[in-house]
């Protein structure tokens, strides 16, 4: 089971909410199964239904994560007008070495899901927000 502090989770969801109607995204980092840091990366597609990391910010985020001695754990992105479930595009473009957190940020309570994607399989993972 992955864990994340509720304060950090709130910071992430506020960030994703502030970008509505555009999808927003970033990296999750930490240690082992514990997510302790969030690094926003601009969505270069500026789309409400898809995202792709802006390359310079992506590079900077990875460099910062390494410099802080953290592990890159996952990618987070929002579905402003969808469900907290991976889209076909998400499955096609996902980095299979990372977990994928998908958030519908304007729902109350906030809807989210943590997944591991590989080829044609979608595995839902447990995320403990504590």
Residues that bind Zn ion (CB under 5 A): 87, 90
> In terms of CB distance, is 30 or 86 closer to Zn ion?
86
Which neighbouring-strand residues pair with 3? 34, 128
In whole angstroms, how far apart are CA 23 and each of 106, 112, 121?
12, 14, 23
Query: To the nearest whole angstrom, how small is the minimum distance from the Cβ of residue 50 to Zn ion?
Result: 7
Q: Which of 130, 117, 103 is nearest to 2 (CA)?
A: 130
Q: Cα separation of 55 and 60, whole Å?
A: 9
Instruction: State the residue number with the nearest CB to Zn ion.
Output: 90
Query: To the nearest whole angstrom, how small is the minimum distance from the Cβ of residue 77 to Zn ion?
Result: 5
Cis amide bond preceding 16, omega within 30: no
> In terms of CB distance, is 26 or 70 closer to Zn ion?
26
> In terms of CB distance, is 9 or 90 closer to Zn ion?
90
Query: To the nearest whole angstrom, how small is the minimum distance from the Cβ of residue 31 to Zn ion?
Result: 26
């Amino acid at each position: 089971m992955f864990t994340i502090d509720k304060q950090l989770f709130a910071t992430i969801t506020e960030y994703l909410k502030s970008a509505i109607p555009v999808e927003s995204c970033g990296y999750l980092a930490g240690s082992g199964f514990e997510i302790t840091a969030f690094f926003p990366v601009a969505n270069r597609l500026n789309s409400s239904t898809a995202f792709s990391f802006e390359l310079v910010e992506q590079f900077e985020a990875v460099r910062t994560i390494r410099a802080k001695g953290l592990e890159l754990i996952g990618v987070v992105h929002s579905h402003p007008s969808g469900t907290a479930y991976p889209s076909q595009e998400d499955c096609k473009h996902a980095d299979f070495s990372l977990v994928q957190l998908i958030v519908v940020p304007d729902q109350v309570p906030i809807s989210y899901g943590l997944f591991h994607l590989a080829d044609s399989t979608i595995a839902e993972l447990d995320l403990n927000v504590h």
